Chains A and B, each alone.
Chain A
Amino acid sequence: MTKESRVSICFFAPAGIFMLVFLFFPVALLVRDSFFEIDMIAQGRGTFVGLSNYIEAIRSERFIGATTNTLIYVVVAVCFELILGLFFALLLNTAFKGHGIVRTIMLAPLMIAPLVTGLIWRFMLNNQFGIVNKLLYDYNITSSRHAIQWLSDERFALLSTIIADIWLTTPFMMLVLLAGLQGISKTLYESADIDGANKIQTFLYVTLPSLFPVMIVAVLIRTVDAARTFDIVWVLTQGGPSNSSEVLSTYMYKTLTRYGLVGESSAMAVIFIILLLVISSYFLIAMFKANKK
Chain B
Amino acid sequence: MSKPNAGVSNENTLGRLFKKNKTIIGLITTVLALLFISPYIYIVLTSIKPSSDAISPSPTFFPRELSLENYVAMFNQMPIAKYFFNSFITASISTILAVFLGALAAYGLSRFSSKTGNIFLLLTLCVRMVPMISIAIPMYIIINGMGLIDTRVALIITYTAINVPFAIWLMIGFFNNIPKEFDEAARIDGCNIFTAFIKVILPVSLPGLATAAIFCFMLAWNDFLFALLLTSTNAKTATVGISEFLTAYNLDLGPMTAAAVSFSLPVMVFSILVQRYIVSGMTLGAVKE
Contact = CB atoms under 8 A, between A and B. Distances in A.
Do A and B belong to a common assembly? yes
B139 interface: yes
Contact of A93 (B12, B218, B222): B12
Interface stretch (B68-76, B78-86, B108-116, B204-212): B108-116
B268 A112 contact: yes
B59 A131 contact: yes
Interface string B114-143: 001000000000111111111111111110
Contact of B287 (A22, A114, A121, A180): A180
Nearest to B5: A95
Contact of B142 (A10, A26, A124, A234): A26
Interface residues of A, number: 105
A112 B288 CA distance: 26
A209 B11 CA distance: 17
Q: Which of A120, A227, A262 gathers most chain B CB within 10 Å?
A: A120
Nearest to A250: B133
Contact of B160 (A22, A106, A176): A22
A212 interface: no
Interface in A82-121: 88, 90-100, 102, 104-116, 119-121
Contacts of A108: 37, 40, 268, 271-272
Given A91-B28, A94-B18, A179-B283, A27 B264 contact: no
Contacts of A147: none
Contact of A181 (B13, B127, B257, B260): B13
A173 B133 CA distance: 24
B249 interface: no
Contacts of B25: 91, 94, 96
Contact of A119 (B18, B225, B256, B267): B256
Nearest to B227: A115
B16 interface: yes
B182 interface: no
Interface string B36-80: 110110110010000000111111010000000000000000000
Interface string A231-263: 100110000000000001100110011000010
A182 B6 contact: yes
A33 B141 contact: yes
A207 B13 contact: yes
Interface string A19-36: 100110111011001000
B176 interface: no
Nearest to B104: A11
B195 interface: no
Interface string A257-271: 100001001100110
B11 to A, nearest CB: 5
A15 B105 contact: yes
B193 interface: yes
A94 B27 CA distance: 12
B28 A253 contact: no
Given A22-B161, A26-B142, A134 B58 contact: yes
Contacts of B141: 29, 33, 262
B57 A145 contact: yes
Contacts of B134: 27, 30, 252, 269-270, 272-273
Contacts of A170: 36
Nearest to B270: A111
Interface stretch (A1-9, A53-61, A154-162): A1-9
Contacts of A131: 42, 59, 61
Q: State the majority secondary structure of interface residues on B.
A: helix
B42 A124 contact: yes
B239 A262 contact: no
Contacts of B257: 119, 123
Interface in B181-225: 193, 197, 218, 221-222, 224-225
A276 interface: yes
A7 B112 contact: yes
A21 B111 CA distance: 25
B243 to A, nearest CB: 6
A277 B126 contact: yes
B248 interface: no
A96 B11 CA distance: 9
A91 B29 contact: yes
Nearest to B58: A134
Contact of B282 (A175, A186, A224, A234): A175
A199 B16 contact: yes
B116 A8 contact: yes
Given A115-B224, A230-B132, 18 more contacts: A4-B113, A5-B112, A14-B104, A33-B138, A94-B14, A98-B30, A99-B7, A102-B26, A106-B37, A110-B282, A114-B224, A115-B243, A184-B10, A214-B287, A228-B132, A231-B224, A256-B140, A269-B133
Interface of A: 4-5, 7-12, 14-16, 18-19, 22-23, 25-27, 29-30, 33, 43, 88, 90-100, 102, 104-116, 119-124, 126, 128-131, 134, 145, 167, 170, 172, 175-176, 179-184, 186, 189, 199, 202-203, 207, 214, 217-218, 221, 224, 227-228, 230-231, 234-235, 248-249, 252-253, 256-257, 262, 265-266, 269-270, 272-273, 276-277, 280
